[in-house]
Amino acid sequence: MYSRRTFLATGVTTLAGVAGGRRLSATQSNAFLNVRSEPSVQIADDRVREMAMQALDAARRHGAVYSDVRLSYTRDRNYRTSLVGYSVNQKESLTVGIRSLVNGYWGFAAGGVWSAAEMERLAAESVQQAQVNALGKPRPMELAPVAPTPGGHWTMPIHQDPFDVHPIEVLDFLRSLILYTARSGGSVSEVRSLFHLHELALATSEGHYSTQRLYRSSGELKITKNLAGYSYISRPLPTLTPAGMGWELFRNPAIYQDIESCIEVLSRDIVMPVRPVDVGRYPIVLDAAGVASLASATIGAATEIDRVLGYEANATGTSYLRSPAEMLGTFQIGSPALNVVANRNESRGAATVQWDAEGVAPREYDLVRNGRLTDFLTMREGAGWLKETYGQHNMPCRSNGCAHTPVAMEAPLVHTPNLVITPAASPASEDDLFASMGDGVAFTAPKFNMDFQQSGGLAYGAAYRIKKGLPVERIGNSGILFRTLEIWKGVTALGGTASSRRFGMSVVKGEPEQTGYHSVTAVPVLIAEATVVNVKQKA
């Protein structure tokens, strides 16, 4: 029952075809590695739709008042290469998940077989999972309305499908980056590239049916600069964070410029004196990468409605935002200069989709406007929880399209969408912020360790003492110990549009755990004052 053979046996007869089955042709030389000769699953095939409808029909017959079914096909190809060796790992997976609602209780069933019989079994199982809990206490629930799309297909616009590129070309190019770095004065021991394809069909009992072909690419390239063979410093290339892109994430002339910029910074840093941190309060400039991570942790995760209302309490935690009714529209998260927009439709965004995992076509909306909390990250159920609150603020009760499932094997959860921090109207660069600050401390791409309510944390990483607007020395082992509201309220200036950069990041949540990806487009910021600590200093 676990193989595609089952699908071949049942699918052929019941669906008059093989939607997901491979047909081996004489020309097919390599199924995993040469997609041109590999008939992969055609997600937009009508027979996939028939199968989804069969699942919905079965769920309805078994008693679901609402159900949705996801069928997903994923491929991964991960390269790891150095000048002396390489390895390539590959993965494919075909999964289906059915979620059913009975008296306010959700049931979910998922597996790895696409067949008519399995649709029937999973539908019955998902309904039964809901029914056994529905016998208990009532659980009122209202799904926010959504206008269903009766049929649609969307392919994420990318320049080049990474699975179309011959692996030898990929390896050669990755090695060329190692050589280019060496010629430019740096060194790289290893480069990794990770490519992910997700084809997803979604059908709901409310009449939605859509299919999507989504891509995500990322990589790891850590550049090291040595000084006389004794000391070295290194930093990862920031442009290779996860993005809704294809092979062009790597095969892009800008990558050479990024490598050179990175080496330039390392060359400057390695001869810069290193001083121990003087613990105290300082003006801070946080670079765009740091602001992106800060926003992801303290605004993205914290506004996820399931965290806010305690649904994540036993997993990753809750939120410093505790009362949506009291906080929506009034709660001051940051300085009036802070504006954060959420979306899932920006080009190249790691969370970009045409429809979310519940069929909601995401739109752009303000999450923080003039420093005030203006919305929460929701899926349909979560928006329903906010119906009254939305009504009090004359806002429509609708999902913000944050439902996401990494694969159909997992049930949808609220995940952080793409976030964009609105740049300042002025064309301020990071250097301009240094000049505005005069004397202070600058942090570059710090890591964040947050508490379980995102109410505060520790940011640590490369830091510089800024004197008269210029970096004059590196500060060892330094970090920012902060409260979320204090640090955002301390923002006095933001970089302009030219300083805006996008970074991809991943967040793990839920039980069982699932990983979501999103992008954050951010600018560097100047913070009036923050506590700088020695992160390795014990009490």
Residues 22-41 that bind other proteins (CB under 8 A): 22-24, 29-33, 38
- Whether residue 512 is preceded by a cis peptide bond, meaning omega within 30 degrees of 0, is yes
Taking the C-alpha atoms of residue 236 and residue 190, their distance in angstroms, rounded to an integer, is: 11
Return the HEC string of 81-113.
ECCCCEEEEEEEEEEEEEEEEECCEEEEEEECC
- Of the listed pieces 207-215, 250-258, 350-358, 531-539, which binds other proteins according to CB under 8 A? 531-539
The dihedral formed by the CA atoms of 121, 126, 132 and 138, expressed in degrees to the nearest 10: -150
* Range 437-461 burial, b when 16+ CB lie within 10 A, else e: beebbbbbbbebebeebbbbbbbbb
The minimum distance between CB 454 and other proteins, in angstroms, equals 8
- Of the listed pieces 58-66, 239-247, 341-349, 455-463, which binds other proteins according to CB under 8 A? 455-463
Report strand pairing: 478-483 vs 525-534.
antiparallel
User: Is position 105 an interface residue for other proteins (rule: CB under 8 A)?
Assistant: yes
User: Is position 103 an interface residue for other proteins (rule: CB under 8 A)?
Assistant: no
- Of the listed pieces 103-111, 285-293, 356-364, 394-402, which binds other proteins according to CB under 8 A? 103-111
- Considering only 315, 337, 435, 507, the residue that binds other proteins (CB under 8 A) is 315
**Binders of other proteins among 462-491, rule CB under 8 A?**
481, 483
Question: What 3-state DSSP class applies to 225?
Answer: strand
User: Is position 451 an interface residue for other proteins (rule: CB under 8 A)?
Assistant: yes
Integer angstrom CA distances of residue 10 from 4, 41, 45, 206, 528: 10, 17, 17, 27, 66
Taking the C-alpha atoms of residue 293 and residue 298, their distance in angstroms, rounded to an integer, is: 8
The minimum distance between CB 539 and other proteins, in angstroms, equals 4
User: Is position 21 an interface residue for other proteins (rule: CB under 8 A)?
Assistant: yes
**Binders of other proteins among 367-406, rule CB under 8 A?**
none
Choose between 101 and 360: whose C-beta lies nearer to other proteins: 101
Estimate to the nearest angstrom the gap between the alpha carbon of 352 and the chain centroid.
9
Estimate to the nearest angstrom the gap between the alpha carbon of 479 and the chain centroid.
25
- Of the listed pieces 99-107, 246-254, 331-339, 468-476, which binds other proteins according to CB under 8 A? 99-107
The minimum distance between CB 469 and other proteins, in angstroms, equals 30
Q: With contacts defined by CB under 8 A, how many residues of the chain interact with other proteins?
A: 91
User: Is position 320 an interface residue for other proteins (rule: CB under 8 A)?
Assistant: yes
- Considering only 65, 395, 435, 458, the residue that binds other proteins (CB under 8 A) is 458
- Considering only 168, 325, 472, 498, the residue that binds other proteins (CB under 8 A) is 168
The minimum distance between CB 437 and other proteins, in angstroms, equals 25
Choose between 129 and 212: whose C-beta lies nearer to other proteins: 129
Report strand pairing: 418-421 vs 514-522.
parallel
**Binders of other proteins among 224-253, rule CB under 8 A?**
none
- Of the listed pieces 48-56, 176-184, 305-313, 518-526, which binds other proteins according to CB under 8 A? 305-313
DSSP structure string for 24-45: --TT---TTT-GGG-----TT-
- Of the listed pieces 15-23, 144-152, 347-355, 367-375, which binds other proteins according to CB under 8 A? 15-23
User: Is position 430 an interface residue for other proteins (rule: CB under 8 A)?
Assistant: no
The minimum distance between CB 521 and other proteins, in angstroms, equals 25
The minimum distance between CB 412 and other proteins, in angstroms, equals 10
User: Is position 137 an interface residue for other proteins (rule: CB under 8 A)?
Assistant: yes
**Binders of other proteins among 346-365, rule CB under 8 A?**
none
Cα of first residue to Cα of last residue in the chain, in angstroms, is 58
Choose between 1 and 179: whose C-beta lies nearer to other proteins: 1
Choose between 505 and 523: whose C-beta lies nearer to other proteins: 505
Q: What share of the chain is helix, strand, coil (3-state, %, to 5)?
A: 25, 35, 40
- Considering only 142, 274, 427, 452, the residue that binds other proteins (CB under 8 A) is 452
User: Is position 539 an interface residue for other proteins (rule: CB under 8 A)?
Assistant: yes
Question: What 3-state DSSP class applies to 266?
Answer: helix
**Binders of other proteins among 47-86, rule CB under 8 A?**
76, 78, 80, 82, 84-86
Considering only CA atoms, which of 291, 289, 191, 197 is closest in space to residue 244?
A: 197
Choose between 34 and 345: whose C-beta lies nearer to other proteins: 34
Taking the C-alpha atoms of residue 13 and residue 3, their distance in angstroms, rounded to an integer, is: 16
- Considering only 13, 27, 314, 394, the residue that binds other proteins (CB under 8 A) is 314
The minimum distance between CB 98 and other proteins, in angstroms, equals 10
* Nearby residues of 422 by Cβ (< 8 Å), 6 or more positions away: 339, 340, 341, 494
User: Is position 167 an interface residue for other proteins (rule: CB under 8 A)?
Assistant: yes
* Nearby residues of 155 by Cβ (< 8 Å), 6 or more positions away: 212, 213
Question: What 3-state DSSP class applies to 179?
Answer: helix
Element (H, E) at 445: strand 440-450
- Considering only 36, 46, 61, 89, the residue that binds other proteins (CB under 8 A) is 89
Integer angstrom CA distances of residue 284 from 27, 421, 439, 496, 528: 61, 18, 9, 17, 7
Choose between 89 and 257: whose C-beta lies nearer to other proteins: 89
> At residue 492, what are phi and psi to the nearest 5 degrees?
-110, -20
User: Is position 136 an interface residue for other proteins (rule: CB under 8 A)?
Assistant: yes
